[in-house]
Amino acid sequence: MMAAALGPPEVIAQLENAAKVLMAPPSMVNNEQRQHAEHIFLSFRKSKSPFAVCKHILETSKVDYVLFQAATAIMEAVVREWILLEKGSIESLRTFLLTYVLQRPNLQKYVREQILLAVAVIVKRGSLDKSIDCKSIFHEVSQLISSGNPTVQTLACSILTALLSEFSSSSKTSNIGLSMEFHGNCKRVFQEEDLRQIFMLTVEVLQEFSRRENLNAQMSSVFQRYLALANQVLSWNFLPPNLGRHYIAMFESSQNVLLKPTESWRETLLDSRVMELFFTVHRKIREDSDMAQDSLQCLAQLASLHGPIFPDEGSQVDYLAHFIEGLLNTINGIEIEDSEAVGISSIISNLITVFPRNVLTAIPNELFSSFVNCLTHLTCSFGRSAALEEVLDKDDMVYMEAYDKLLESWLTLVQDDKHFHKGFFTQHAVQVFNSYIQCHLAAPDGTRNLTANGVASREEEEISELQEDDRDQFSDQLASVGMLGRIAAEHCIPLLTSLLEERVTRLHGQLQRHQQQLLASPGSSTLDNKMLDDLYEDIHWLILVTGYLLADDTQGETPLIPPEIMEYSIKHSSEVDINTTLQILGSPGEKASSIPGYNRTDSVIRLLSAVLRVSEVESRAIRADLTHLLSPQMGKDIVWFLKRWAKTYLLVDEKLYDQISLPFSTAFGADTEGSQWIIGYLLQKVISNLSVWSSEQDLANDTVQLLVTLVERRERANLVIQCENWWNLAKQFASRSPPLNFLSSPVQRTLMKALVLGGFAHMDTETKQQYWTEVLQPLQQRFLRVINQENFQQMCQQEEVKQEITATLEALCGIAEATQIDNVAILFNFLMDFLTNCIGLMEVYKNTPETVNLIIEVFVEVAHKQICYLGESKAMNLYEACLTLLQVYSKNNLGRQRIDVTAEEEQYQDLLLIMELLTNLLSKEFIDFSDTDEVFRGHEPGQAANRSVSAADVVLYGVNLILPLMSQDLLKAEYSELVETLLSSQQDPVIYQRLADAFNKLTASSTPPTLDRKQKMAFLKSLEEFMANVGGLLCVK
Amino acid sequence: MAERGRGPHGSAGTPPPRSRPPEAPGGHMVGGSRQPPARRELESKPLKMADDLDFETGDAGASATFPMQCSALRKNGFVVLKGRPCKIVEMSTSKTGKHGHAKVHLVGIDIFTGKKYEDICPSTHNMDVPNIKRNDFQLIGIQDGYLSLLQDSGEVREDLRLPEGDLGKEIEQKYDCGEEILITVLSAMTEEAAVAIKAMAK
């Protein structure tokens, strides 16, 4: 429109003025002017057939921004008017643009890129038309390249880069209003032919440059650009044929693209000169850290080559052998630069991940050995450098990243070891394992904190609770090292044992010296704590490695004893004296080497007992009043290890193994004195920790987790409940007295959970009766005694009454947590009585927010843990209780106004909990075990045939109840936060999208819901739809 | 008291342990320096948290605060910081060095003034926890900026100020309109304040 109304000079003047406004500093123009200027450009770009004007602008205007807009206008108009344009004029437009750029070497970069983008879009749009000859552009580009002029060569590279990114995917490309299928088809055509041509051109340039002796700055900049281009080609995400629309998007979003070209690339990429070229290039530029990134990335991509490009296994073997040769030639005998570490480890990691084992083993033996030697050498060396990085507290931990990658490669390599002859990796595993241990131990055995200038004095830094524990932060490394330790069990297990035993002795001695000094001069300590801290740190790492070596961490599954460990123990069982072994195990207070015949014991059991010895030194120090000298971290490590160990080894289920080691089955098998002893020992440890370490929450938590492990399986629980200590613990906890009531609330809940789980062990009726009388009944009795007092209403605000109520509610949460399919019937009935009373409490404590909060939490937990098991009538009971609760809550809070400082946050917490409660109830719609598992058989007479009330009905009713309580602000801020939390927990992008859509729909009709009835109805209607959407979605899932 | 000998790693602001019964000299063999008194109690009679909290005497003699081990405090619970009753709005732990002992960092908001207080102390320390009470009274009059509140006993108390700000205005307005309202009075450590209103159920 504008172009038609005004002549070209006027248009230019207008656009240049608008550009001035847009480029002006914010203080010089107002918003309106800015918007007007933007509008001018927008309508200019929409104008019909702007080609002549644009050409004119490009040729005459001196304002870069206007040139940029002209290029954009051409690009958009060409696509918009494609079918109306004559092919000849498109062709000439493209030539014009290319020539334009060529003739103006001094164009602003962003203008040049935009013009080249326009060229690329024209080529892409034409590629499926067959109307435009794409090949000509490559001809032109290759001429530019052969010109030898660096500026022109750079331009050629820019053209190719523009083409590449335009065709690379459907998401990164310019928005030219074409379908995803169109983009997909373009990409497929492009990757067969043109992409390869770009690659060939690039390779030629690289070859040329790699031959030159001296490169000046300008030339090496061109070199760098082509190297980056090569990297882009090799990282091309080859689109397979016949990939559906939905999958294209998923496919293209994948990170870490491996090189899987189509068959047509065979001659190009399997030509060994290509691979050699990239090795040569890297050798040439490896000291330039920027370029080395690209050349190593190219090599890493080549190392991941797979797919139809290989006609047969033989060609794959040849390729691999050739590649490994090239790699070894490149890195052997050089000192690796910091900037190379990650790249090199990526290459190795790709080789090991992508090439199948049988191909790996088919390359010449000597070559493969050299490769594994090289891997071993690099792993150890990167490990040492990573340790150094940690000491120096570097920001950029390149060696740590490289080390992680290599350790992961080891895990991949050795996991499927049937292709290699037995023991093939043992010596390598020993080396990597030793070096890991060495890096983590203090001098003289290790090199921890050692730098070139001696021992680095690490300042005692403040560590916040957010800092991950080493066992989680380094879990991948530890898993690899543990695996290597299993492979080399003959070496590693005795090594760990002797290192641990020696440190136990030293720790014992050091603590004794401290004690003597404290006795001699109380209050003043001149002994250095550094020695202790060093020992703790050593023991910390040794226990972590031992834990990962001896057992796997599994969730939900039954972890098995690793076969390597089992074999190792079996292999030596004939040389082992079982009695001495049991003696070593059963006397953690004595030095292992003081027991006669200690060398003829089972090594695995001796390693376990080394950890028990650490634990024993800890216990003795506590008894000797030295708790303040102990390390809570080490305490955590001990119980963490014991839990992991107990899960796997304690009361081994012999049915799960082909063969079982005699020492294991004698020491920890069912019906053995050993297992009874060790359970007693562990229980003692738990009880001691809970009283001594109540102030260390993480340690207390790990400790109760150990307790849960001991009772969650029936076989172990049966032994646990035979210990007098267990009963004492139960009684103590029920009496709510110190020290157990010093524990933090989550720990107390888990303890309650463990005590309840223990109650389902096998006992005679009388014992069971007695147990519940000790554990659960006091809870009920005390609670009823308090709430049934005549003057309860008057006393309810007294501190001790409130504490009693709080403790009961906390315990109820713990009981709910203990729910399992086989105890739900009993626990539900028990908890239901309380829930009814809790509603009464809600009334009494209506003005006490923290109690209200906790009451709702009990309901949340019960619904969370039990609803899925409940049959119809039980579920109805729970629904009713929940709705009554909400009614009472709603009645008490409608019309209440609070001003206390935390009023808003507290109300938010209530509502959040209520939403959680409703969500838990709703889960009945998707997860329901009650039909298949008749846990309530006999408990539930005469079920109605069809379900009259669904969870969704209940939830809708519940939302209706609390909606009036949500203020607008609360809804806006907190509700959307709730939604986001819910959304962010979704990992599957498809489900995420559907959920997000569902929520958008929910709020669109009535944002934000208010007290207004009409709006409320609208909201409820949307909510219903929402339930249907989400319900369907989760059912599908 | 070796744990204090090692010290809270130089944090000068650490308050001395409060309300903690003195430890018996010589002490118990078992249990370390941390909780000998607690352990003794465990073995004898249950249900006494600490010496200065008496369960039997009820309201009149109850002290304003009671001690609690730092680790047993919880977010949203209450604690005395710098002599003021506070609601705990933030609670985190840290340690000095990987093998150090836990310290608790508390942030509380004064329940009457809304002022923010912070404290950091070893997690084994005892902190004072204020006794918090909330009572609902019916409003029967407003005189000279004081509320007339009907107590359960039938007596009228007239010593509580009409709160300032929005809530105060709301109370006056509702009272003037003849609405029957309940007033929630929060009390802790000898201080009291009206903090909430609720229309009376008809």
Q: What is the pLDDT of residues A642-667, one digit of tens each?
A: 999 999 999 988 899 999 999 999 99
pLDDT tens-digit map of A734-754 = 888 888 988 999 999 999 999
Average pLDDT over residues B123-148: 92
Question: Taking the CA atoms of chain A, what radius of gyration do you get in angstroms?
Answer: 36
Q: Does A631 touch chain B (CB under 8 A)?
A: yes
Query: What are the CA-CA distances from residue B103 to residues A523, A698, A831 (Å)?
Result: 21, 12, 36
Q: Does B140 touch chain A (CB under 8 A)?
A: no
Residue A790 has pLDDT above 90, yes or no: no
Q: Answer whether B47 sits within 8 Å of A735, measured CB to CB.
A: yes
Which region holds residue A1005: left if phi is over 0, alpha if psi is between -120 and 50, else beta?
alpha
Confidence of residue B59 (pLDDT cuts 50, 70, 90): very low
Question: How far is the alpha carbon of B136 from chain A, nearest alpha carbon, in Å?
Answer: 8
Higher pLDDT, A939 or A734: A734
Residue A78 has pLDDT above 60, yes or no: yes
Q: Answer whether A695 sits within 8 Å of B69, measured CB to CB.
A: yes
Percent of chain A with pLDDT over 90: 50
Q: How far apart are CA A90 and CA A71, in angstroms?
A: 14
Q: What are phi and psi of B99, to 5 degrees?
A: -105, 15
Residues in A closer than 8 angstroms to B70, CB to CB, are 695
Percent of chain A with pLDDT over 70: 87
Q: How far apart are CA A139 and CA A135, in angstroms?
A: 6
Q: How far apart are CA A950 and CA A137, in angstroms?
A: 66
Average pLDDT over residues A492-496: 98
Q: Tell me what ipTM this predicted complex has.
A: 0.80
Residue A125 has pLDDT above 50, yes or no: yes
- Half-sphere exposure (Cβ direction) of A573: Cα atoms closer than 13 Å: 16
Judged by average pLDDT, the poorest of A417-421, A543-547, A741-745, B166-170 is A417-421
Judged by average pLDDT, the poorest of A156-165, A977-986, B43-52 is B43-52
Residue A506 has pLDDT above 80, yes or no: yes
Q: Residue A1007: its pLDDT value, please?
A: 44
Q: Does B148 touch chain A (CB under 8 A)?
A: no
Query: What are the CA-CA distances from residue A226 to residues A119, A285, A502, A1002 (Å)?
Result: 20, 13, 58, 52
Q: Does B9 touch chain A (CB under 8 A)?
A: yes
Confidence of residue A472 (pLDDT cuts 50, 70, 90): very high
Residue B28 has pLDDT above 70, yes or no: no
Q: Answer whether A896 sits within 8 Å of B197, measured CB to CB.
A: yes
Confidence of residue A718 (pLDDT cuts 50, 70, 90): very high
Q: Residue A240: its pLDDT value, please?
A: 83
Q: Answer whether A903 sits within 8 Å of B124, measured CB to CB.
A: no
Q: Which of residues 19-58 of B touch A (CB under 8 A)?
A: 27, 29-35, 38-39, 41-42, 46-49, 53, 55, 58
Q: Answer whether B32 sits within 8 Å of A464, measured CB to CB.
A: no
Q: Residue A696: its pLDDT value, please?
A: 95
Residues in A closer than 8 angstroms to B202, CB to CB, are none
Q: B88: nearest CA in chain A? A: A902
pLDDT tens-digit map of B77-88 = 999 999 999 999
Average pLDDT over residues A298-307: 96
Residue A1027 has pLDDT above 70, yes or no: no
pTM for the full predicted model: 0.83
Q: Answer whether B184 sits within 8 Å of A847, measured CB to CB.
A: yes
Q: Residue A449: its pLDDT value, please?
A: 84
Residues in B closer than 8 angstroms to A633, CB to CB, are 98-99
Judged by average pLDDT, the poorest of A189-203, A277-291, A688-702, A888-902 is A888-902
Q: Residue A607: its pLDDT value, please?
A: 97
What are B93's strand-pairing partners?
B104
Q: Residue A1026: its pLDDT value, please?
A: 64
Residue B19 has pLDDT above 50, yes or no: no
Q: Does A518 touch chain B (CB under 8 A)?
A: yes
Higher pLDDT, A937 or B46: A937
| Contact (CB, 8 A) for A1033 and A995 | yes
DSSP string, A245-298: HHHHHHHHT-SS------GGGHHHHH-HHHHHHHHHHHHHHTTSHHHHHHHHHH
Q: Does B185 touch chain A (CB under 8 A)?
A: no
pLDDT tens-digit map of B172-184 = 998 999 889 999 9
Strand intervals (E) in A456-495: 462-464
CA-based angle B161:B162:B167, to the nearest 5? 140
Q: Which range has the top average pLDDT, A696-710, A726-740, A989-1003?
A: A696-710
Neighbours of A960 (CB within 10 A): 15
Judged by average pLDDT, the poorest of A263-277, A962-976, B133-147, B148-162 is A962-976
Question: How far is the alpha carbon of B191 from chain A, nearest alpha carbon, in Å?
Answer: 14
Strand intervals (E) in A330-478: 450-451, 454-455, 462-464
Higher pLDDT, A948 or A308: A308
Q: Answer whether A900 sits within 8 Å of B186, measured CB to CB.
A: yes
In the predicted model, what is the mean pLDDT of chain A? 86
What lies within 8 Å, CB to CB, of A607 at 6+ separation is: A493, A496, A497, A500, A546, A550
Q: Which of residues 852-871 of A touch B (CB under 8 A)?
A: 853
Judged by average pLDDT, the poorest of A88-97, A158-167, A239-248, A732-741 is A239-248
Q: Residue B4: its pLDDT value, please?
A: 37
Q: Residue A306: its pLDDT value, please?
A: 95
Question: How far is the alpha carbon of A493 from chain B, nearest alpha carbon, in Å?
Answer: 26
Q: Answer whether B55 sits within 8 Å of A800, measured CB to CB.
A: yes
Average pLDDT over residues B147-162: 89
Q: Residue B9: its pLDDT value, please?
A: 41
CA-based angle A936:A940:A941, to the nearest 5? 145
Q: Which of B27, B97, B114 sits opposite A533 (nearest CB)?
A: B97
Q: B89: nearest CA in chain A? A: A902
Residue A990 has pLDDT above 70, yes or no: no
Mutation target to probe the B interface, by most B beta carbons within 10 A, among A440, A516, A524, A625 is A625
Confidence of residue B48 (pLDDT cuts 50, 70, 90): very low
| Contact (CB, 8 A) for B67 and B83 | no
Q: Residue A963: its pLDDT value, please?
A: 74
Q: How far apart are CA B108 and CA B82, in angstroms?
A: 10
Average pLDDT over residues A141-165: 88
Residues in A closer than 8 angstroms to B72, CB to CB, are 694, 741-745
Average pLDDT over residues A187-202: 90
Q: Residue A916: its pLDDT value, please?
A: 87
| Contact (CB, 8 A) for A954 and A882 | yes
What lies within 8 Å, CB to CB, of A306 at 6+ separation is: A258, A259, A260, A354, A355
In the predicted model, what is the mean pLDDT of chain B? 74
Confidence of residue A991 (pLDDT cuts 50, 70, 90): low
Residue A470 has pLDDT above 80, yes or no: yes
Q: Does B66 touch chain A (CB under 8 A)?
A: yes
Q: How far apart are CA A92 and CA A543, in angstroms?
A: 74
Residue B39 has pLDDT above 60, yes or no: no
Helices and strands, counts by H and E, chain B: 3, 11
Q: Which of residues 114-133 of B touch A (CB under 8 A)?
A: 114, 122-124, 131-133
Judged by average pLDDT, the poorest of A244-248, A722-726, B193-197 is A244-248
Confidence of residue B27 (pLDDT cuts 50, 70, 90): very low
Question: How far is the alpha carbon of A395 from chain B, nearest alpha carbon, in Å?
Answer: 20
Higher pLDDT, A937 or B134: B134
Q: Does B138 touch chain A (CB under 8 A)?
A: no
Q: Does A622 touch chain B (CB under 8 A)?
A: yes
Query: What are the CA-CA distances from residue A108 to residues A65, A94, A225, A625 (Å)?
Result: 10, 20, 18, 76
Amino acid at A355: F
Residues in B closer than 8 angstroms to A895, CB to CB, are 198-199
Q: Answer whether B5 sits within 8 Å of A524, measured CB to CB.
A: yes
Mutation target to probe the B interface, by most B beta carbons within 10 A, among A541, A732, A743, A847 is A847
Residue B201 has pLDDT above 70, yes or no: no
Residue B57 has pLDDT above 50, yes or no: no
Confidence of residue A971 (pLDDT cuts 50, 70, 90): low
Residue B60 has pLDDT above 50, yes or no: no
Q: Residue A415: its pLDDT value, please?
A: 82
Confidence of residue A920 (pLDDT cuts 50, 70, 90): confident
Average pLDDT over residues A754-762: 92
